Amino acid sequence: MPKNSPLWRDEIFDPVPRMRAFDTEDEAIAMANDKPYGLVVPVATRYCERGTRVSNALEVRVVWAGAPQMNFPKTSWGGYTQSSLGRELGPFALAAYQEIKQVLLPA
């Protein structure tokens, strides 16, 4: 799949598997991060250390590394970059409804 293909670059909310060949782990990470969106990325590997390393390097909000596609309501939901505005679910979602004020009083 060409890297400028809409199937590769756009955020598609259907069960559409998209795959590209790569030679190195660094190349795979660079390809995955070279997008304007960052909501969810699945990672498939049989090596736990590699899955952790790659997951930490991905610029996305959620990584499903060898796990089913799920989200926990107590954690926030929302992507990086152009994937969303703010957060939904969990305590981080409350920040959208709060105005933080700092008041300093003399001692």
89 domain-assigned: yes
Which pairing describes strands 37-38 and 80-81: parallel, antiparallel, or unpaired? antiparallel
106 domain-assigned: no
102 domain-assigned: no
Q: Which residues contact 83 (CB under 8 A, 6 or more apart)?
A: 11, 37, 38, 39, 60, 61
Structure-token pair, residue 44: 């498939």
Distance of alpha carbon 7 from the chain centroid: 17
pLDDT at 92: 66
Q: Where are the alpha helices (DSSP H) in 10-106?
A: 25-33, 48-57, 90-93
Give the chain's residues under pLDDT 50: none
pLDDT at 85: 59
Q: Which domain holds residue 38?
A: 6-97
